[in-house]
Structure 1
Amino acid sequence: MPKPPATSTAVPVGIAVPGQFRDGLFSCFNSPLILAAGCCCPFVTTGQLYERILAKKGTCLLVAAVIAVLMISTTVFDSQCSKPMELDAYGTLTVPEPEGVCVYKQVFALFSFAAFVIIGSITCMVREKVRAKYAIPPTCCGSLDDFCCGFFCPCLNQTQILRHLEVFEEGQYSITSPVGVEAV
């Protein structure tokens, strides 16, 4: 006798379901404010999640400042090592090779890497704690799920976590709050 097909029940997007994230990793546009904060100011959302989930009261500003300094200094000083484009004799736009090695470029590349590691590490730890708190199983990578999401797509991951917390902990997201939620 043939086995009947498995049935599934549709769950509307954005509805809190126990054992699952509120919505998918790529459902960023469900909350435009959180999307803007996560993509444009990842140092802020990293600090907010650090203070809110890892219970380090008063550390949001410190974490955000360290990451911001690392990211901004990389951008500013990297541009100092680059020469502007020039027109060659044929009217073609070229980028001249710098004379010698710009030591600052290597130093600030390390700053950029440090910011990447800090954001990725904090995002991994936060995701692990949120999944444990809400009994959310890993999706595709098993025990490496938090690592993959934390390092390969930290902005998407942070916005997913913030959207999830906004529903389950009933608070409106605020970019100016140290924990990402307006005080009631």
Structure 2
Amino acid sequence: MSPMDEKSPMVYQPTMFVPPQPIPYPPNYTQYVTGPAQGAYGIPVVASTMWKSGMFECFQSTPNALMALFCPCVAVAQIASRLGAFGGYCGVLAVLFVIYCTHHAFAGLTQNEVDNYEQDQGHWTPQNINRLITYATLSSLTALLPALFLAVLRTRVRRVHHIQGSECEDFLCSYFCNCCTIAQMATEVQAYTPGECSFGPRSTIPAYHVVYGNTLV
């Protein structure tokens, strides 16, 4: 047998062992805020945890207190417009106008049934009683709608500005002291020009973007 026919034996060459490398921890990015930048909804990233003014500090700005007392629909529409929520200034103003008109209409019908009862010297038919109950119930329900809307708006303001509180607190404040609640929210979102009674909307609060390192979120 010739040497060419002989197969050379396989030589085992050990490879170098490479130990597993530990997974590096993610870099410690520093969170910071850039802005303001325009957005459909103004949501600031950094906010206080307390209201700028207390519930009964509405007279810190007399024009703001007067607007909340005598023109609550306009003041609420300005707040919603400032947040860019619920259809903005015109949408909220129209909805509140319809709610108040509906409430006063049912209240007037209820009072009319009571007047008819007095004119008939206490003689009521079952139809009169049913109408009175229906009108009184609808009047009470429509009277609750503005307070419910105000409570939802106050909850939105709290969440946007990271203010402590609860939905129950929002409803109680909106129902029992709606004027002070409106003035407090207007101060928080700066819905008015200090020292002026303005009936128009202010611009929507600009949004802020959060940046981690070089990544824009």
SS at match of 2:115: coil
1:151 aligns with 2:183: no
* Unmatched segments (≥5 aa) in structure 2: 1-46, 204-217
List aligned pairs for 1:130-145, cutoff 5 A. Answer: 130-138=157-165, 142=166, 144-145=168-169
TM-score normalised to structure 1 length: 0.61
**In the alignment, is the contact (CA less than 8 A) between 1:47 and 1:62 conserved in 2?**
no
Q: Whole-Å Cα distance in 1 between the matches of residues 147 and 55 of structure 2?
A: 16
2:188 corresponds to which residue?
164
Q: Quick one: which amino acid aligns to residue 68 of structure 2?
A: G
Structure 1, unaligned stretches of length 5 or more?
A: 1-16, 87-95
User: What is the alpha-carbon distance in structure 1 between the residues aligned to residue 136 and residue 76 of structure 2?
Assistant: 20
Q: CA RMSD in A?
A: 3.4
Q: Is the 8 Å Cα contact of residues 150 and 157 (structure 1) preserved in structure 2?
A: yes
Higher relative contact order by CA 8 Å / sep ≥ 6: 1 or 2?
2
Equivalent position of 1:106 in the other structure: 133
Task: Report which of the two has the higher share of strand.
Answer: 2
Which residue of the partner structure matches residue 34 of structure 1? 64
Secondary structure at the aligned position of 1:146 is classed as helix
3-state DSSP of counterpart to 1:137: coil
The superposition leaves residues 43-86 of structure 1 with CA deviations (integer Å, 9 ceiling, x where unpaired) of: 444444444432523412321221221232134333322339x9
User: In the superposition, relative to structure 1, how do residues 143 and 60 fare at CA in structure 2: closer, same or farther (>3 Å)?
Assistant: closer
Q: 1:41: how far off? A: 4.0
- The superposition leaves residues 78-104 of structure 1 with CA deviations (integer Å, 9 ceiling, x where unpaired) of 3322339x9xxxxxxxxx646343544
Contact 1:70–1:111 (8 Å) recurs in 2: no
Distance 2:188 2:122 in 1: 48
Residues 80-138 of structure 1: CA distance to partner in whole angstroms, max 9, x if unpaired?
Answer: 22339x9xxxxxxxxx6463435443333233333333212221221122112222212
Q: TM-score, normalised by structure 2?
A: 0.53
What code does the residue aligned with 1:64 have?
A: L
Correspondence 1:125 to 2:156: no
